[in-house]
Structure 1
Amino acid sequence: MYAEERQQALASMVLRDRRIVVSDAAEHFGVTTETVRRDLATLERLNLVRRVHGGAVPADVLTTVELDVPQRRRAAEAEKARIGKAALDLLPGPEGSILLDAGTTTAQLAAAIPADSRLTVITNDGAVVERLNEHRGLELYQLGGRVRPTTRAAVGPRTLTVLSDLRVDVAFLGTNGLSLEHGLSTPDPDEAAVKTAMIAAARRVVVLADSSKLGRESLIRFGRLDQVDVVVTDAGAPPDVVAALEARDIDVVVA
Protein backbone atom coordinates (compact mmCIF):
# COMPACT_ATOMS: atom_id res chain seq x y z
CA MET A 1 0.00 0.00 0.00
CA TYR A 2 1.30 3.43 -0.94
CA ALA A 3 1.59 6.10 1.77
CA GLU A 4 -1.19 8.15 0.18
CA GLU A 5 -3.55 5.15 0.19
CA ARG A 6 -2.75 4.37 3.82
CA GLN A 7 -3.30 8.00 4.84
CA GLN A 8 -6.64 8.07 3.08
CA ALA A 9 -7.63 4.87 4.88
CA LEU A 10 -6.49 6.32 8.21
CA ALA A 11 -8.56 9.46 7.66
CA SER A 12 -11.61 7.34 6.86
CA MET A 13 -11.12 5.25 10.01
CA VAL A 14 -10.87 8.36 12.21
CA LEU A 15 -14.07 9.79 10.74
CA ARG A 16 -15.90 6.49 11.13
CA ASP A 17 -14.71 5.53 14.63
CA ARG A 18 -14.22 9.10 15.96
CA ARG A 19 -10.70 8.22 17.12
CA ILE A 20 -7.77 5.98 16.24
CA VAL A 21 -5.01 4.46 18.36
CA VAL A 22 -1.52 4.52 16.87
CA SER A 23 -0.58 1.00 17.99
CA ASP A 24 -3.81 -0.49 16.64
CA ALA A 25 -3.38 1.27 13.29
CA ALA A 26 0.22 0.08 13.02
CA GLU A 27 -0.87 -3.51 13.54
CA HIS A 28 -3.77 -3.12 11.10
CA PHE A 29 -1.57 -1.81 8.28
CA GLY A 30 1.51 -3.86 9.13
CA VAL A 31 3.76 -0.80 9.58
CA THR A 32 5.65 0.73 12.47
CA THR A 33 4.09 3.13 14.97
CA GLU A 34 6.51 5.78 13.72
CA THR A 35 5.05 5.42 10.21
CA VAL A 36 1.53 5.87 11.54
CA ARG A 37 2.58 8.96 13.50
CA ARG A 38 4.09 10.46 10.34
CA ASP A 39 0.89 9.70 8.45
CA LEU A 40 -1.19 11.36 11.16
CA ALA A 41 1.09 14.39 11.12
CA THR A 42 0.46 14.69 7.38
CA LEU A 43 -3.31 14.41 7.90
CA GLU A 44 -3.18 17.01 10.67
CA ARG A 45 -1.42 19.48 8.34
CA LEU A 46 -4.32 18.92 5.93
CA ASN A 47 -6.75 19.69 8.79
CA LEU A 48 -8.33 16.23 8.51
CA VAL A 49 -7.45 15.01 12.02
CA ARG A 50 -6.13 16.30 15.32
CA ARG A 51 -3.42 14.32 17.05
CA VAL A 52 -3.92 13.48 20.72
CA HIS A 53 -1.88 11.37 23.12
CA GLY A 54 -1.60 7.88 21.63
CA GLY A 55 -3.65 8.53 18.49
CA ALA A 56 -5.88 10.99 16.68
CA VAL A 57 -9.44 12.29 16.60
CA PRO A 58 -11.45 14.09 13.90
CA ALA A 59 -10.50 17.70 13.29
CA ASP A 60 -13.90 18.89 14.54
CA VAL A 61 -13.49 17.26 17.95
CA LEU A 62 -11.26 19.97 19.39
CA THR A 63 -13.34 23.11 19.52
CA THR A 64 -13.88 26.35 21.39
CA VAL A 65 -17.21 27.04 19.68
CA GLU A 66 -20.30 27.34 21.88
CA LEU A 67 -23.86 27.05 20.64
CA ASP A 68 -26.47 29.26 22.26
CA VAL A 69 -29.29 27.77 24.34
CA PRO A 70 -31.91 27.47 21.55
CA GLN A 71 -29.37 25.74 19.28
CA ARG A 72 -28.32 23.34 22.04
CA ARG A 73 -31.93 22.52 22.86
CA ARG A 74 -32.47 21.34 19.29
CA ALA A 75 -29.31 19.22 19.27
CA ALA A 76 -29.92 15.58 20.28
CA GLU A 77 -33.22 16.62 21.85
CA ALA A 78 -34.70 13.11 22.09
CA GLU A 79 -31.49 11.66 23.50
CA LYS A 80 -31.27 14.38 26.15
CA ALA A 81 -34.85 13.72 27.21
CA ARG A 82 -34.06 10.01 27.70
CA ILE A 83 -30.92 10.89 29.62
CA GLY A 84 -32.88 13.19 31.92
CA LYS A 85 -35.43 10.49 32.70
CA ALA A 86 -32.74 7.85 33.28
CA ALA A 87 -30.98 10.18 35.72
CA LEU A 88 -34.04 10.14 37.99
CA ASP A 89 -32.82 6.83 39.39
CA LEU A 90 -29.68 8.60 40.62
CA LEU A 91 -31.47 11.20 42.72
CA PRO A 92 -30.88 10.88 46.47
CA GLY A 93 -33.72 9.85 48.73
CA PRO A 94 -36.25 12.19 50.38
CA GLU A 95 -34.64 15.19 52.09
CA GLY A 96 -31.50 14.70 49.98
CA SER A 97 -29.67 17.55 48.26
CA ILE A 98 -28.49 18.06 44.69
CA LEU A 99 -26.65 20.57 42.55
CA LEU A 100 -28.04 20.99 39.05
CA ASP A 101 -25.56 22.49 36.62
CA ALA A 102 -26.77 24.85 33.90
CA GLY A 103 -27.39 23.16 30.56
CA THR A 104 -29.97 21.69 28.24
CA THR A 105 -29.36 18.09 29.34
CA THR A 106 -29.52 18.87 33.06
CA ALA A 107 -32.69 20.86 32.29
CA GLN A 108 -34.22 17.61 31.02
CA LEU A 109 -33.57 16.04 34.41
CA ALA A 110 -35.25 19.05 36.05
CA ALA A 111 -38.26 18.57 33.77
CA ALA A 112 -38.51 14.92 34.81
CA ILE A 113 -38.36 15.44 38.58
CA PRO A 114 -41.76 14.47 40.04
CA ALA A 115 -43.84 17.28 41.49
CA ASP A 116 -44.03 15.58 44.91
CA SER A 117 -40.26 15.13 45.31
CA ARG A 118 -38.80 16.25 48.62
CA LEU A 119 -35.31 17.46 47.78
CA THR A 120 -33.07 20.46 48.20
CA VAL A 121 -32.14 21.64 44.70
CA ILE A 122 -29.42 24.25 44.07
CA THR A 123 -28.77 25.47 40.55
CA ASN A 124 -27.07 28.26 38.60
CA ASP A 125 -29.61 28.00 35.77
CA GLY A 126 -32.63 30.29 35.74
CA ALA A 127 -34.45 28.00 33.31
CA VAL A 128 -34.18 25.16 35.81
CA VAL A 129 -35.62 27.41 38.52
CA GLU A 130 -38.58 28.21 36.27
CA ARG A 131 -39.20 24.50 35.66
CA LEU A 132 -39.10 23.60 39.36
CA ASN A 133 -40.67 26.65 40.94
CA GLU A 134 -44.10 25.01 41.25
CA HIS A 135 -42.73 21.88 42.95
CA ARG A 136 -43.88 22.73 46.45
CA GLY A 137 -42.03 19.85 48.06
CA LEU A 138 -38.64 21.19 46.97
CA GLU A 139 -36.30 23.56 48.76
CA LEU A 140 -35.14 25.46 45.68
CA TYR A 141 -32.11 27.76 45.63
CA GLN A 142 -30.78 29.82 42.73
CA LEU A 143 -27.10 30.70 42.78
CA GLY A 144 -26.34 34.35 42.14
CA GLY A 145 -23.66 35.79 39.91
CA ARG A 146 -23.10 37.18 36.44
CA VAL A 147 -25.34 35.53 33.86
CA ARG A 148 -23.53 34.51 30.68
CA PRO A 149 -25.65 35.40 27.62
CA THR A 150 -24.58 32.32 25.64
CA THR A 151 -25.58 29.70 28.20
CA ARG A 152 -27.61 31.75 30.71
CA ALA A 153 -25.55 30.25 33.52
CA ALA A 154 -24.67 32.20 36.65
CA VAL A 155 -20.88 32.41 37.00
CA GLY A 156 -18.21 34.46 38.71
CA PRO A 157 -16.83 35.13 42.21
CA ARG A 158 -20.24 35.37 43.90
CA THR A 159 -21.27 31.98 42.53
CA LEU A 160 -17.98 30.40 43.57
CA THR A 161 -18.16 31.84 47.09
CA VAL A 162 -21.51 30.19 47.77
CA LEU A 163 -20.43 26.88 46.25
CA SER A 164 -17.30 26.78 48.40
CA ASP A 165 -19.48 26.51 51.51
CA LEU A 166 -21.81 23.80 50.20
CA ARG A 167 -21.86 20.04 50.63
CA VAL A 168 -24.55 18.14 48.68
CA ASP A 169 -25.37 14.51 48.08
CA VAL A 170 -25.16 14.56 44.27
CA ALA A 171 -24.01 17.03 41.62
CA PHE A 172 -25.49 16.59 38.15
CA LEU A 173 -23.19 18.18 35.59
CA GLY A 174 -23.31 18.86 31.89
CA THR A 175 -20.19 19.02 29.74
CA ASN A 176 -19.11 20.15 26.29
CA GLY A 177 -16.60 17.34 26.04
CA LEU A 178 -15.63 14.10 27.74
CA SER A 179 -12.49 12.32 26.65
CA LEU A 180 -10.29 9.67 28.20
CA GLU A 181 -7.22 11.89 27.86
CA HIS A 182 -8.56 15.33 28.79
CA GLY A 183 -11.43 14.50 31.12
CA LEU A 184 -14.37 16.90 31.30
CA SER A 185 -14.04 20.18 29.43
CA THR A 186 -15.86 23.34 28.38
CA PRO A 187 -14.90 26.44 26.35
CA ASP A 188 -15.44 29.17 28.95
CA PRO A 189 -13.14 29.65 31.98
CA ASP A 190 -15.88 31.09 34.21
CA GLU A 191 -18.20 28.15 33.56
CA ALA A 192 -15.30 25.75 34.04
CA ALA A 193 -14.60 27.28 37.47
CA VAL A 194 -18.23 26.85 38.54
CA LYS A 195 -18.32 23.24 37.36
CA THR A 196 -15.07 22.51 39.23
CA ALA A 197 -16.58 24.01 42.38
CA MET A 198 -19.70 21.87 41.96
CA ILE A 199 -17.57 18.75 41.79
CA ALA A 200 -15.77 19.78 44.97
CA ALA A 201 -19.09 20.39 46.73
CA ALA A 202 -20.60 16.96 46.00
CA ARG A 203 -20.31 13.57 47.62
CA ARG A 204 -21.24 11.98 44.29
CA VAL A 205 -20.75 13.33 40.76
CA VAL A 206 -23.02 12.37 37.86
CA VAL A 207 -22.27 13.61 34.34
CA LEU A 208 -25.15 13.87 31.87
CA ALA A 209 -23.71 13.78 28.35
CA ASP A 210 -25.26 12.73 25.07
CA SER A 211 -23.05 10.54 22.91
CA SER A 212 -21.90 13.43 20.70
CA LYS A 213 -19.92 14.75 23.70
CA LEU A 214 -17.96 11.52 24.18
CA GLY A 215 -14.50 11.74 22.64
CA ARG A 216 -14.78 15.50 22.27
CA GLU A 217 -12.36 17.92 23.92
CA SER A 218 -12.90 21.58 24.62
CA LEU A 219 -10.54 24.34 25.70
CA ILE A 220 -10.60 24.08 29.50
CA ARG A 221 -10.68 20.99 31.66
CA PHE A 222 -12.92 21.35 34.70
CA GLY A 223 -12.83 17.80 36.03
CA ARG A 224 -10.83 14.59 35.95
CA LEU A 225 -12.47 11.26 35.19
CA ASP A 226 -11.42 9.90 38.57
CA GLN A 227 -13.75 12.50 40.11
CA VAL A 228 -16.76 11.10 38.25
CA ASP A 229 -18.98 8.38 39.71
CA VAL A 230 -21.58 7.96 36.94
CA VAL A 231 -21.96 8.97 33.28
CA VAL A 232 -25.46 8.92 31.82
CA THR A 233 -25.47 8.87 28.02
CA ASP A 234 -27.46 7.47 25.10
CA ALA A 235 -27.30 4.39 22.88
CA GLY A 236 -25.03 6.14 20.38
CA ALA A 237 -22.12 6.03 22.83
CA PRO A 238 -19.07 4.27 21.29
CA PRO A 239 -18.71 0.85 22.96
CA ASP A 240 -14.95 1.26 23.37
CA VAL A 241 -15.42 4.53 25.26
CA VAL A 242 -18.09 2.97 27.48
CA ALA A 243 -15.77 0.03 28.22
CA ALA A 244 -12.88 2.37 28.98
CA LEU A 245 -15.01 4.40 31.40
CA GLU A 246 -16.21 1.26 33.15
CA ALA A 247 -12.61 0.05 33.40
CA ARG A 248 -11.97 3.22 35.42
CA ASP A 249 -14.73 2.26 37.88
CA ILE A 250 -17.20 4.75 36.42
CA ASP A 251 -20.77 3.48 36.16
CA VAL A 252 -22.20 4.11 32.69
CA VAL A 253 -25.97 4.32 32.30
CA VAL A 254 -27.15 4.07 28.68
CA ALA A 255 -30.57 5.66 28.29
Structure 2
Amino acid sequence: MPSSTPPADLVAAISERRATLSPKLAGIAAYALQNPEAFIRKTSREICAELQTSEPTLIRFCQVFGYAGLSDFRIDLALGLAGSRQGFVEPLAGDRRLANAEAKQAIARRAAQLVRDDRSLLVDNGSTAEIFAAALRDAPAMTIMTTGIWVAQNALAHGQHTVMLTGGRIRSNAMSMTGRMVETSIGQMHFDTFVMGAASIDADHGLSTFQEDEAHNTRFMLGAARRVIVLADSTKFHKPSLHRICGMSRVDILVTDLPADDPRYSALEAQGTTIITTRTSDDFNADTARDRDLGRDSRPA
Protein backbone atom coordinates (compact mmCIF):
# COMPACT_ATOMS: atom_id res chain seq x y z
CA MET A 1 0.00 0.00 0.00
CA PRO A 2 1.19 3.60 -0.58
CA SER A 3 2.97 4.85 2.53
CA SER A 4 2.54 8.59 1.91
CA THR A 5 0.95 11.24 -0.27
CA PRO A 6 2.58 11.64 -3.71
CA PRO A 7 5.06 14.55 -3.65
CA ALA A 8 4.60 17.79 -5.52
CA ASP A 9 8.00 17.28 -7.19
CA LEU A 10 8.69 13.59 -7.71
CA VAL A 11 12.14 14.06 -9.25
CA ALA A 12 13.30 16.07 -6.24
CA ALA A 13 11.71 13.60 -3.83
CA ILE A 14 13.57 10.66 -5.37
CA SER A 15 16.86 12.56 -5.14
CA GLU A 16 16.26 13.52 -1.51
CA ARG A 17 15.17 10.08 -0.31
CA ARG A 18 17.58 7.98 -2.33
CA ALA A 19 20.23 7.82 0.40
CA THR A 20 17.69 6.59 2.99
CA LEU A 21 16.38 3.68 0.89
CA SER A 22 17.41 0.05 1.07
CA PRO A 23 20.07 -1.01 -1.46
CA LYS A 24 17.48 -2.56 -3.79
CA LEU A 25 15.20 0.49 -3.71
CA ALA A 26 18.16 2.86 -3.96
CA GLY A 27 19.22 1.03 -7.11
CA ILE A 28 15.79 1.59 -8.63
CA ALA A 29 15.92 5.26 -7.62
CA ALA A 30 19.29 5.68 -9.32
CA TYR A 31 17.98 4.04 -12.47
CA ALA A 32 14.89 6.27 -12.55
CA LEU A 33 17.02 9.41 -12.17
CA GLN A 34 19.85 8.45 -14.50
CA ASN A 35 17.83 6.64 -17.17
CA PRO A 36 14.37 8.24 -16.95
CA GLU A 37 13.42 7.52 -20.55
CA ALA A 38 14.15 3.81 -20.13
CA PHE A 39 12.32 3.75 -16.80
CA ILE A 40 9.24 5.36 -18.37
CA ARG A 41 9.30 3.50 -21.69
CA LYS A 42 10.35 -0.05 -20.76
CA THR A 43 8.04 -2.71 -19.40
CA SER A 44 8.25 -3.57 -15.71
CA ARG A 45 9.68 -6.96 -16.66
CA GLU A 46 12.46 -5.34 -18.71
CA ILE A 47 13.32 -2.94 -15.88
CA CYS A 48 13.46 -5.76 -13.35
CA ALA A 49 15.62 -7.90 -15.61
CA GLU A 50 18.08 -5.06 -16.08
CA LEU A 51 18.23 -4.26 -12.37
CA GLN A 52 18.04 -7.90 -11.25
CA THR A 53 15.12 -7.20 -8.98
CA SER A 54 11.51 -8.37 -8.73
CA GLU A 55 8.28 -6.72 -9.82
CA PRO A 56 6.95 -6.64 -6.21
CA THR A 57 10.11 -4.73 -5.24
CA LEU A 58 9.55 -2.29 -8.11
CA ILE A 59 5.96 -1.71 -6.96
CA ARG A 60 7.14 -1.29 -3.37
CA PHE A 61 9.53 1.42 -4.57
CA CYS A 62 6.58 3.30 -6.14
CA GLN A 63 4.55 2.90 -2.96
CA VAL A 64 7.32 4.49 -0.88
CA PHE A 65 6.54 7.72 -2.75
CA GLY A 66 2.76 7.44 -2.35
CA TYR A 67 1.76 5.65 -5.57
CA ALA A 68 -0.34 2.51 -5.83
CA GLY A 69 1.62 1.23 -8.80
CA LEU A 70 4.07 1.82 -11.61
CA SER A 71 1.67 3.53 -14.05
CA ASP A 72 0.83 6.51 -11.82
CA PHE A 73 4.46 6.80 -10.74
CA ARG A 74 5.76 6.95 -14.32
CA ILE A 75 3.20 9.53 -15.41
CA ASP A 76 4.20 11.84 -12.57
CA LEU A 77 7.88 11.20 -13.28
CA ALA A 78 7.35 12.22 -16.92
CA LEU A 79 5.56 15.39 -15.82
CA GLY A 80 8.28 16.18 -13.31
CA LEU A 81 10.92 15.83 -16.01
CA ALA A 82 8.93 18.07 -18.33
CA GLY A 83 9.02 20.80 -15.72
CA SER A 84 12.81 20.49 -15.33
CA ARG A 85 15.79 20.96 -17.60
CA GLN A 86 15.95 17.23 -18.32
CA GLY A 87 13.19 17.46 -20.92
CA PHE A 88 10.01 15.58 -21.66
CA VAL A 89 9.53 11.82 -22.02
CA GLU A 90 6.01 10.94 -23.11
CA PRO A 91 4.31 8.34 -20.87
CA LEU A 92 3.16 5.09 -22.40
CA ALA A 93 -0.46 5.02 -23.52
CA GLY A 94 -0.91 1.87 -21.45
CA ASP A 95 0.17 3.71 -18.30
CA ARG A 96 -2.32 6.49 -19.00
CA ARG A 97 -5.15 4.00 -19.47
CA LEU A 98 -4.42 2.27 -16.16
CA ALA A 99 -4.20 5.48 -14.12
CA ASN A 100 -7.47 6.16 -12.23
CA ALA A 101 -9.41 4.00 -14.69
CA GLU A 102 -12.59 3.69 -12.60
CA ALA A 103 -12.97 7.47 -12.29
CA LYS A 104 -12.39 7.90 -16.02
CA GLN A 105 -15.17 5.41 -16.75
CA ALA A 106 -17.65 7.40 -14.65
CA ILE A 107 -16.57 10.70 -16.23
CA ALA A 108 -16.93 9.28 -19.74
CA ARG A 109 -20.41 7.89 -19.06
CA ARG A 110 -21.59 11.23 -17.68
CA ALA A 111 -20.12 13.15 -20.61
CA ALA A 112 -21.81 10.80 -23.08
CA GLN A 113 -25.17 11.88 -21.64
CA LEU A 114 -24.34 15.53 -22.34
CA VAL A 115 -23.86 15.06 -26.09
CA ARG A 116 -26.90 12.96 -26.95
CA ASP A 117 -28.60 15.88 -28.71
CA ASP A 118 -25.51 16.77 -30.75
CA ARG A 119 -25.15 15.88 -34.40
CA SER A 120 -21.39 16.40 -34.70
CA LEU A 121 -18.50 15.94 -32.28
CA LEU A 122 -14.82 16.82 -32.40
CA VAL A 123 -12.96 14.57 -29.97
CA ASP A 124 -9.44 14.86 -28.59
CA ASN A 125 -7.09 11.91 -28.14
CA GLY A 126 -6.13 10.36 -24.81
CA SER A 127 -7.22 7.64 -22.42
CA THR A 128 -10.40 9.36 -21.17
CA ALA A 129 -11.37 10.31 -24.73
CA GLU A 130 -11.02 6.65 -25.71
CA ILE A 131 -13.36 5.62 -22.90
CA PHE A 132 -15.76 8.42 -23.86
CA ALA A 133 -15.93 7.09 -27.44
CA ALA A 134 -16.69 3.63 -26.09
CA ALA A 135 -19.51 5.15 -23.99
CA LEU A 136 -21.28 6.43 -27.13
CA ARG A 137 -22.66 2.97 -27.88
CA ASP A 138 -26.29 3.95 -27.23
CA ALA A 139 -26.03 7.54 -28.50
CA PRO A 140 -28.02 8.57 -31.60
CA ALA A 141 -26.08 8.52 -34.86
CA MET A 142 -23.69 11.44 -35.18
CA THR A 143 -20.58 12.53 -37.07
CA ILE A 144 -17.40 12.20 -35.03
CA MET A 145 -14.00 13.55 -36.01
CA THR A 146 -10.97 12.86 -33.84
CA THR A 147 -7.19 13.03 -33.66
CA GLY A 148 -7.10 9.75 -31.71
CA ILE A 149 -6.77 6.47 -33.60
CA TRP A 150 -8.15 4.42 -30.70
CA VAL A 151 -10.90 7.00 -30.20
CA ALA A 152 -11.92 6.49 -33.83
CA GLN A 153 -11.81 2.72 -33.48
CA ASN A 154 -13.98 2.75 -30.35
CA ALA A 155 -16.56 5.07 -31.93
CA LEU A 156 -16.60 3.09 -35.18
CA ALA A 157 -17.28 -0.17 -33.33
CA HIS A 158 -20.82 0.99 -32.44
CA GLY A 159 -21.89 0.95 -36.07
CA GLN A 160 -24.24 3.94 -36.15
CA HIS A 161 -21.71 6.81 -36.18
CA THR A 162 -19.88 8.40 -39.10
CA VAL A 163 -16.26 8.51 -37.95
CA MET A 164 -13.41 10.53 -39.41
CA LEU A 165 -9.74 10.88 -38.51
CA THR A 166 -8.00 14.18 -39.06
CA GLY A 167 -4.93 14.17 -41.26
CA GLY A 168 -1.49 14.52 -39.78
CA ARG A 169 1.58 12.67 -38.66
CA ILE A 170 0.98 9.69 -36.37
CA ARG A 171 2.47 9.97 -32.88
CA SER A 172 3.12 6.28 -32.30
CA ASN A 173 3.47 6.61 -28.53
CA ALA A 174 -0.01 8.12 -28.20
CA MET A 175 -1.58 6.66 -31.37
CA SER A 176 -2.81 10.11 -32.33
CA MET A 177 -2.49 12.59 -35.17
CA THR A 178 -0.45 15.77 -34.93
CA GLY A 179 0.94 18.50 -37.16
CA ARG A 180 -0.40 21.15 -39.52
CA MET A 181 -2.60 18.66 -41.37
CA VAL A 182 -4.80 18.44 -38.27
CA GLU A 183 -5.68 22.10 -38.75
CA THR A 184 -6.16 21.67 -42.50
CA SER A 185 -8.61 18.82 -41.88
CA ILE A 186 -10.91 20.80 -39.61
CA GLY A 187 -10.31 24.31 -40.94
CA GLN A 188 -13.58 24.48 -42.90
CA MET A 189 -15.70 22.50 -40.41
CA HIS A 190 -17.78 23.45 -37.39
CA PHE A 191 -18.90 21.00 -34.71
CA ASP A 192 -21.55 21.09 -32.02
CA THR A 193 -19.13 20.08 -29.26
CA PHE A 194 -15.40 19.60 -28.77
CA VAL A 195 -14.69 16.95 -26.12
CA MET A 196 -11.13 17.21 -24.83
CA GLY A 197 -8.79 16.23 -22.06
CA ALA A 198 -5.69 17.87 -20.61
CA ALA A 199 -2.55 16.78 -18.80
CA SER A 200 -2.96 19.59 -16.27
CA ILE A 201 -5.82 21.78 -15.07
CA ASP A 202 -5.40 24.79 -12.83
CA ALA A 203 -7.93 27.50 -12.05
CA ASP A 204 -5.45 30.30 -12.68
CA HIS A 205 -3.31 28.83 -15.47
CA GLY A 206 -6.03 26.90 -17.29
CA LEU A 207 -5.39 23.78 -19.37
CA SER A 208 -1.95 22.44 -20.28
CA THR A 209 -0.66 19.39 -22.08
CA PHE A 210 2.52 17.38 -22.59
CA GLN A 211 3.78 18.59 -25.95
CA GLU A 212 3.96 21.91 -27.73
CA ASP A 213 2.54 20.63 -31.04
CA GLU A 214 -0.39 19.02 -29.25
CA ALA A 215 -1.14 22.29 -27.44
CA HIS A 216 -1.06 24.14 -30.76
CA ASN A 217 -3.44 21.67 -32.42
CA THR A 218 -5.81 21.69 -29.46
CA ARG A 219 -6.01 25.48 -29.44
CA PHE A 220 -7.05 25.33 -33.09
CA MET A 221 -9.66 22.66 -32.34
CA LEU A 222 -11.18 24.85 -29.64
CA GLY A 223 -12.24 27.32 -32.30
CA ALA A 224 -13.98 24.68 -34.40
CA ALA A 225 -16.86 23.92 -32.01
CA ARG A 226 -19.81 25.72 -30.48
CA ARG A 227 -19.28 24.14 -27.06
CA VAL A 228 -16.24 22.79 -25.19
CA ILE A 229 -16.45 19.94 -22.69
CA VAL A 230 -13.33 18.96 -20.74
CA LEU A 231 -12.96 15.51 -19.19
CA ALA A 232 -10.51 15.40 -16.28
CA ASP A 233 -10.09 12.98 -13.39
CA SER A 234 -8.67 14.17 -10.09
CA THR A 235 -5.07 13.22 -10.94
CA LYS A 236 -4.99 16.01 -13.53
CA PHE A 237 -5.18 18.61 -10.74
CA HIS A 238 -1.87 17.53 -9.17
CA LYS A 239 0.31 18.23 -12.18
CA PRO A 240 2.54 21.17 -13.12
CA SER A 241 1.61 23.37 -16.05
CA LEU A 242 3.45 22.39 -19.23
CA HIS A 243 2.44 23.79 -22.64
CA ARG A 244 -0.60 26.00 -22.10
CA ILE A 245 -3.70 25.38 -24.21
CA CYS A 246 -6.16 27.97 -22.90
CA GLY A 247 -7.68 29.58 -19.84
CA MET A 248 -10.73 28.21 -18.07
CA SER A 249 -12.88 30.90 -19.69
CA ARG A 250 -12.80 28.84 -22.90
CA VAL A 251 -14.33 25.82 -21.16
CA ASP A 252 -18.12 25.50 -21.04
CA ILE A 253 -18.38 22.31 -18.99
CA LEU A 254 -15.83 20.41 -16.89
CA VAL A 255 -16.73 16.80 -16.05
CA THR A 256 -14.59 15.51 -13.19
CA ASP A 257 -14.54 13.31 -10.11
CA LEU A 258 -13.53 16.17 -7.79
CA PRO A 259 -16.13 16.42 -4.99
CA ALA A 260 -17.98 19.74 -4.71
CA ASP A 261 -16.37 20.60 -1.36
CA ASP A 262 -12.84 20.31 -2.74
CA PRO A 263 -11.14 23.76 -2.72
CA ARG A 264 -10.02 23.24 -6.33
CA TYR A 265 -13.64 22.75 -7.34
CA SER A 266 -14.58 26.13 -5.88
CA ALA A 267 -11.60 27.83 -7.52
CA LEU A 268 -12.55 26.44 -10.93
CA GLU A 269 -16.21 27.32 -10.46
CA ALA A 270 -15.20 30.90 -9.66
CA GLN A 271 -13.77 31.12 -13.18
CA GLY A 272 -17.30 30.75 -14.58
CA THR A 273 -16.98 27.15 -15.70
CA THR A 274 -19.93 24.81 -15.22
CA ILE A 275 -18.67 21.79 -13.29
CA ILE A 276 -20.33 18.38 -13.24
CA THR A 277 -18.88 15.99 -10.69
CA THR A 278 -19.33 12.24 -10.70
CA ARG A 279 -18.31 12.03 -7.06
CA THR A 280 -20.22 13.32 -4.05
CA SER A 281 -18.69 14.55 -0.82
CA ASP A 282 -20.11 11.47 0.91
CA ASP A 283 -18.26 9.26 -1.60
CA PHE A 284 -15.03 11.13 -0.93
CA ASN A 285 -15.43 11.01 2.86
CA ALA A 286 -16.24 7.30 2.78
CA ASP A 287 -13.18 6.58 0.65
CA THR A 288 -10.99 8.68 2.92
CA ALA A 289 -12.25 6.88 6.04
CA ARG A 290 -11.74 3.47 4.44
CA ASP A 291 -8.24 4.38 3.30
CA ARG A 292 -7.38 5.69 6.76
CA ASP A 293 -8.52 2.38 8.27
CA LEU A 294 -6.36 0.53 5.76
CA GLY A 295 -3.43 2.87 6.42
CA ARG A 296 -3.14 4.24 2.91
CA ASP A 297 -3.49 7.50 1.06
CA SER A 298 -6.89 8.31 -0.49
CA ARG A 299 -5.47 9.37 -3.86
CA PRO A 300 -7.09 7.20 -6.59
CA ALA A 301 -4.83 4.55 -8.09
TM-score scaled by length of structure 2: 0.62
Match of 2:90 in 1: 66
How far the C-alpha of 1:223 sits from its partner, in A, is 1.4
Match of 2:62 in 1: none
Question: Match for 1:104 among 108, 122, 127?
Answer: 127
Determine whether 1:76 maps to 2:100: yes
Q: Which has the higher helix share?
A: 2
Contact 1:115 1:136 in 2 (8 A): no
Match of 2:148 in 1: 125
Question: Match for 2:187 among 141, 150, 164?
Answer: 164
Give the whole-Å Cα distance in 2 for the aligned partners of 1:104 and 1:238.
Answer: 26
Give the whole-Å Cα distance in 2 for the aligned partners of 1:180 and 1:47.
Answer: 30
The alignment partner of 2:158 has SS state of coil
Give the whole-Å Cα distance in 2 for the aligned partners of 1:186 and 1:47.
Answer: 27
Q: Which has the higher strand share?
A: 1
The alignment partner of 2:128 has SS state of helix
Contact 2:210 2:243 in 1 (8 A): yes
Which blocks of at least 5 consecutive residues in structure 2 are unaligned?
A: 18-75, 83-88, 279-301
How far the C-alpha of 1:129 sits from its partner, in A, is 1.5
Match of 1:175 in 2: 198
The alignment partner of 1:218 has SS state of coil
Match of 1:148 in 2: 171
Q: 4+ residue runs of structure 1 moved beyond 6 angstroms? A: 15-18
Contact 2:123 2:144 in 1 (8 A): yes
Q: How does 1:1-255 map to 2 (within 5 A)?
A: 64=82, 65-93=89-117, 96-115=119-138, 117-235=140-258, 239-255=262-278
TM-score scaled by length of structure 1: 0.73
When structure 1 is superposed on structure 2, of 74-83 and 155-164 the one drifting more is 155-164
The residue type paired with residue 143 of structure 1 is T
Q: How many residues align?
A: 207
Give the whole-Å Cα distance in 2 for the aligned partners of 1:108 and 1:16.
Answer: 26
The residue type paired with residue 100 of structure 1 is V
Give the whole-Å Cα distance in 2 for the aligned partners of 1:120 and 1:145.
Answer: 19
Aligned residues with identical type, % of pairs:
31
Contact 1:116 1:136 in 2 (8 A): no
